[in-house]
Amino acid sequence: MDITSNHWIFAGIFVLTFVVGVGFAYRDDLKKNPTIFKGSWKFLLGVVLFTMVLVVIKILYRFSTN
């Protein structure tokens, strides 16, 4: 199965909508009980950094095999 540009457009719109929805839900929950979410930004930062490291490793591996 080939991945067309329409697949990427759908994936991008889906991810954007999902992130916005999660952001609104987080904001509402944070107002209700802020003590539960104390320090959650550190976890989110860790997830983002880990993902970026994986992407960099993938890019470097792709360049080294060519």
Residues above pLDDT 90, as percent of the chain? 55
pLDDT at 66: 66
Q: Which two tokens stand for residue 53?
A: 């490291």
| CA 49/CA 65 separation, integer angstroms | 24
Q: Which two tokens stand for residue 8?
A: 């990427």
Residues 28/31/34/38 CA torsion (nearest 10 deg): 50
35 pLDDT above the threshold of 90: no
Which pLDDT band, with edges at 50, 70 and 90, does 55 fall under?
A: very high
| CA 29/CA 27 separation, integer angstroms | 6
Taken in order 38, 41, 53, 8, is the CA torsion positive or negative? Answer: positive
Does the pTM exceed 0.75? Answer: no
